[in-house]
Chain A
Amino acid sequence: MNVGLFIPCYIDQFYPNVGIATLQLLEKLGCKVGFPLNQTCCGQPMANSGFASLSKSCDKNFVSNFRGFDYIVGPSGSCVLHLKEHLHDEQHPGEAEHIRKHVYELTEFLVDVLKVEKLNASFPYKVGLHNSCHGQRGLHLSSMSERNLPAFSKPQQLLSMVKGLELKMPSRPDECCGFGGTFCVFEEAVSVKMGKDRIADHANNDVQYITGGDTSCLMHLEGILKRNGSKVKTIHIAEILNSNA
C-alpha cells in the first residue's frame, strides 16, 4: 500500500523526531511510504482564524503534492480534520475529494486500516494521555465524555500494546488543553490557564510523560512545563509506538 506521509509544517520545523518516528513506524508495519518534498501546510491556521479564503493556494499545493497515493497519513488529528472538512481544489476536485476521503490521522490509520494488533515497542514509564479535541471529537478517535455512547479509544488501544507502559488517565479525560491555534496568542491568559490546569490534572497521577496525537497541544503544554521547571516531559504518541523494544 502506497502511503503519502504528511508532516505538518510545525512538526517539520520544530519536531522532526515526530516525523521520523511516524515514517519509521509506518515502514516497520509494511507500508511503502512516500514523502512529497514540496508540502507545506494544511491551511488550518488561516482557516481557523477566519481566513479560509486565503488558504486556496495552500490547498492547491497540498493536492498537487498528495495526489496519487492510496492513503495520506499524518501525525496530527487537528491538521487531518481540517483537510477532511475543508480541502478543495477547483481545478482538481476529484483528486481533492480522494484526499479528503483517504487522509488519516496516524492512530486511526494504524487501528482502522492496518488493523495493528501488536507492536514491538517498549516504553517503561508512567504516561498520561492527552486526548486532543480535534482528533477525539472531530475524527472520533475515542468516545467522548459528553455523549451517551459505548466507550472506546484508538490511542489507548495502541498504547496498551507497548511493553512496560503504565497508562494514567486524568480526572477530566477529554478537557481541552487551550492551544486552539491562534487562540494560544490572542487569548493568551485563558490559553495558558487551561494548559496549567491540564498539567495539574496529569501531575496528580505522578506521570513522567504526557503523550497525545497532536504536537500542537504538546508544544503548548511543553512550553508551560519548561517555564515552570517541571520534570514532566511531553512526547508524541508516534515516538512511543516506535520506541525500540
Chain B
Amino acid sequence: MSHNSTLKHAEAAAQFINDEPRTNWHDETLWFVRQKRDKAAHGLPEWEQLREWASQIKNHTLSNLDNYLKEFESKAQDNGVIVHWAADAEEHNKIIYDIIAHHKIKKIVKSKSMLTEECGLNEFLHTKGIETVDTDLGERIVQFRNEPPSHIVLPAIHLKKQDVSDTFHEHLNTEKGNNDPQYLTEAARQHLREKFIESELAITGVNFAVAETGGFVVCTNEGNADMGAHAAKIHIACMGFEKMIPKAEHLSVFLRLLARSATGQPITTYSSHFHKPREGQEMHIVIVDNGRSRQLGRADFRNSLKCIRCAACFNTCPVYRRSGGHSYHTAVAGPIGSILNPNIDMRANADLPFASTLCGSCSNVCPVKIDIHDQLWKWRQVLVAEGYVDTTKKVGLKGMAFLLARPGLYRFAGKMGRGIMRFFPWIVNNKLNPWYKQREMPAPPKQSFRDWYLQNKKQ
C-alpha cells in the first residue's frame, strides 16, 4: 500500500496522540518488546562482541560489494537460479511482472518483503490486474484494511485485537465481536492455507544472501515463506543489494543477533536456507539498487546500509512509540527509515530526520552498530544546505545565530525579552506559541546569572 498522506511527521503524530489511551497502549506494547530484547541481549555475555563482529563484517562487505555481488550471482547461476538486476523500483516491478505475464500466472502469494513495499509492487501489479496475497499474518491484516504496514517486523502493531476482529468479520466472515485471538488466528490460517495451495507463484524477501554459496536465508516466525515457496512452481526472491554477507559461517553472528534484537527470541522460528530450485521449479533472484549505490557513495550515510531490518531502533524510539509507524509516511519507518528515506526522496522525506530528539537509544540497540542518531544530525545539515526546510525556521535560527554571536546584543535582548521569552526566536516566530499550548513558561527571574555575578562576585 502506498502512503497517500501528505501530512508531515509532526502533524500525523499529533493526530495519533489525540487518542491518548491508544497511544499509551502502543507505547507500552513496543516497550514490552524492547524489554524482551534487553533480556535476550543481556543474557549473552558476548553480546557487545557479536555487535562488533556484525558491524565489521557488514563494513567489509560494503567496501567489497561489487566483488561479493558478482560472486553471489555466479554461484547462484551455477545452482540453477535465474538472477536479475534492477536499477530502481520500476525495473524491479517490471522484472516480476514479466515473469508473471510470461507464465500467465493468476495466483500469487508473498511473504514479508519490505523491499517490495519500498518498490510499491502490490500497487503496480494491481494496476496490471494482478492481485497478490500477503501471507504474513500482520501483513494480511493491513492488506485487508488497505493500509501500509506500520512496522517492518510487526506490520499490524498499531491495531488492537478488536480492530482485527472487525477486519476479519468484514473480509473473512468471522463472528462479529469475537475478539478471541485463537479464533481469529485460526480463521486466518484456514484462509491462508487455501491461498498457499492455490498459488502458482511465491514472492519472498531475503534476509541474508551468502556470496560463497549463492544461497539465501529467509527468516520468519510463521513459516509462510516456506509454505509459499514449497507449494508454488515459481519462487521469486527480492533483495536490496546490501543483504550480502561473504560466507555461510557469518550467519552464526547475524542469526544470533537478528531475532534477539527484533523480538527477544533467541532465533526466528524458521530460518530457511534456499539454494537451488527443486525439480520442476523455477527460482529467480532480483537484486535491487533503488538508490542504494547513491547512499553507498555518501561517506556520512553509507553505513546505514549495514541494516539487517530488525526494528530494534523502532521499539526503543520514544518518538516512534508515541507517533506510530504511519506518521513516517514511508515503507521503512522509525529511526532507520529516517536516515534511509531522505536518500530516496529528499524533498518528500525532509521532515523525518527532525522527528527525533537525538536521544541516541537507537544507536545503542542497533545490532550492527549504525550510528543512527549521528546520521540524523548529519541529514539535518544536508537538508538545510540543500534548502529543504521552512523559511520561518531558517529566519528564526539565523536571527538567533546573529544574536548569540554578539554578546552585547544577547544581553540586551535578554533584558528586553526575558519575561515573554522573546529570547528564543523559534518560539516568537510561531503565532500560536507551541511551547505554551501544554506547558507553562519558566518564571522570569529578576536578574540574569551574569547580572548577579557582576553584583556579587566581580572583584
B405 and A40: CB pair below 8 A?
A: yes
* Complex Cα spacing A144 to B358, Å: 15
How distant is the Cα of A128 from the Cα of B43 in the complex, in angstroms?
Answer: 28
* B434 lies within 8 A of A185 (CB): yes
Given contacts A9-B404, A184-B435, A227-B438, contact A51 B397 (CB under 8 A): yes
Given that A187-B319, A190-B17, A226-B440 are contacting pairs, would A35 and B430 also be in contact in the complex, using a CB cutoff of 8 Å?
Answer: no
Is A223 touching B356 in the complex (CB atoms < 8 A)? no
Query: C-beta contact mask, B283-294 vs A, less than 8 Å → 1, else 0?
Result: 000000000000
Secondary structure at the A interface, as helix, strand, loop or mixed, is: helix
Kindly state the separation between the CA atoms of A17 and B365 in the bound complex, as whole angstroms: 37
Stretch at the interface among A41-49, A87-95, A100-108, A152-160: A41-49
Which chain B residue lies CB-closest to A149? B48
**With known contacts A14-B445, A35-B453, A148–B47 Cβ distance under 8 A:** yes
- The residues of B that contact A190 with a CB separation of less than 8 Å are 10, 13-14, 17, 319, 322-323, 355
Which of these, B365, B401, B423, contacts A57 with CB under 8 Å?
Answer: B401
A207 to chain B: closest CB distance in Å?
Answer: 19
Report whether B318 and A175 are in contact in the complex, using a CB–CB cutoff of 8 Å. yes
| Nearest residue, chain B, Cβ from A37 | B450
Interface string of B413-449 (1 = CB under 8 A from A): 0100010000110110010011101111110110111
A175 contacts across to B, CB distance below 8 A: 318
Separation of A20 and B454 alpha carbons in the complex (Å): 12
Give the residue of B17, B397, B451 whose beta carbon is less than 8 angstroms from that of A49.
Answer: B397
Q: Which of B27, B383, B430, B435 sits near A223, CB closer than 8 Å? A: B435
The complex places the Cα of A19 from the Cα of B448 at a distance, in Å, of: 9
The complex places the Cα of A195 from the Cα of B38 at a distance, in Å, of: 23
Residue interface bits B313-331, CB-to-A below 8 A is 1, else 0: 0001011001100000000
A223-B445 contact, Cβ under 8 Å, with A43-B404, A137-B360, A187-B319: no
Question: Are A53 and B405 CB-contacts (below 8 A) given A12-B414, A16-B449, A185-B426?
Answer: no
Cβ A147 vs Cβ B364 within 8 A: yes
**Which B residues lie within 8 Å of A197 (CB)?**
24, 27, 322
Which B residues are CB-close (under 8 A) to A149? Answer: 48
Given known contacts A137-B364, A148-B44, A188-B437, is B450 in contact with A12 (CB within 8 Å)? yes
Q: What CA separation (Å) do A84 and B409 show in the bound complex? A: 26
Contact of A180 among B356, B365, B453 (CB under 8 A): B356
Residue A3 is within 8 A (CB to CB) of chain B in the complex = no
Interface flag for B96 (CB, 8 Å)? no
Give the docked Cα–Cα distance between A37 and B457 (Å). Answer: 12
A227-B384 CB under 8 A given contacts A187-B13, A189-B14: no
Q: Taking the complex as formed, is B452 at the interface, i.e. its CB lies under 8 A from any CB of chain A?
A: yes
Bound Cα distance A177, B426 (Å): 20
Taking a contact as CB atoms closer than 8 A, the residue among B383, B433, B452 that contacts A16 in the complex is B452
Question: How many Å lie between the Cα of A61 and that of B41 in the bound state?
Answer: 45
Chain B residues contacting A181 (CB-CB under 8 Å) are 357-358
Tell me, yes or no, whether B85 is within 8 Å of chain A by CB. no
Known: A50-B381, A187-B10. A57 touches B450 (CB 8 A): no
* Shortest Cβ distance from residue A202 to the other chain B in the assembled complex, whole angstroms: 15
Tell me whether A54 and B381 are in contact in the complex, defined as CB-CB below 8 angstroms, given that A147-B364, A194-B322 are known contacts. no
Q: Report which of B360, B401, B441, B449 forms a contact with A20, defined as CB distance below 8 A.
A: B449
Per-residue interface assignment for chain B, residues 367 to 409, with 1 indicating a CB less than 8 Å from any chain A CB and 0 otherwise:
0000000000100111111000100011001101101111100
Query: Is A146's CB within 8 Å of the partner chain B?
Result: yes
Question: A121 to chain B: which residues have CB within 8 Å?
Answer: none
Residue of A nearest to B427 (CB): A185
Inside 8 A of B364's CB, which chain A residues have their CB? 137, 144, 146-147
User: Quick check: is A222 within 8 A (CB to CB) of the other chain?
Assistant: yes
Alpha-carbon distance between A58 and B433 when the two chains are bound, in angstroms: 26
Please give, as numbers and ranges, the residues of chain B lying within 8 Å of A38 by CB-CB distance: 407
Q: Residues of B contacting A146 with CB < 8 Å?
A: 38, 316, 361, 364-365
Q: In the assembly, what is the distance between CA of A117 and CA of B24, in Å?
A: 41
Chain A contact residues (Cβ within 8 angstroms of B): what range?
Answer: 35 or more
Smallest CB separation, A194 vs chain B (Å): 5
B401 touches A58 (CB 8 A): yes
Q: Which residues of B contact A16 (CB under 8 A)?
A: 445, 447-449, 451-452
| Distance in angstroms between the alpha carbons of A61 and B401 in the assembled complex | 12
List chain B residues, Cβ under 8 A from A60: 405
Interface string of A94-137 (1 = CB under 8 A from B): 00000000000000000000000000000000000000011001
Give the CA-CA distance A11 to B414 in the complex, in Å.
12
Given known contacts A49-B397, A58-B404, A182-B426, is B23 in contact with A193 (CB within 8 Å)?
A: yes
Q: How far is the CA of A109 from the CA of B358 in the complex (A)?
A: 24
- Does A242 make an interface contact (CB < 8 A)? no
From known contacts A12-B449, A148-B48, infer whether A188 and B360 are also in contact, taking CB-CB under 8 Å: no
Note all chain B residues with C-beta closer than 8 A to A43.
Answer: 401, 404
Q: Are the C-beta atoms of B445 and A15 separated by less than 8 Å?
A: yes
Contacts of A46 in B (CB 8 A): 397, 400-401, 404
Is A52 an interface position by the 8 A CB rule?
Answer: yes
Contact partner, B360, options A54, A58, A133, A184, Cβ 8 Å: A133
* Chain A residues within 8 Å of B, Cβ to Cβ: 7, 9-20, 23, 35, 37-41, 43, 45-55, 57-58, 60-61, 133-134, 137-138, 144-149, 172, 174-176, 178-195, 197, 219-220, 222-224, 226-227
Known contacts A146-B361, A194-B319, A197-B27; can you find 9 more A-B pairs with CB under 8 A? A13-B448, A45-B397, A48-B380, A51-B401, A54-B401, A176-B361, A182-B426, A190-B323, A223-B441
Sample (6) of A-B pairs whose CB atoms are under 8 Å apart:
A7-B449, A16-B448, A41-B404, A49-B397, A50-B384, A54-B398
Top 3 nearest A-B pairs (CB, nearest first) are A180-B357, A223-B439, A57-B405
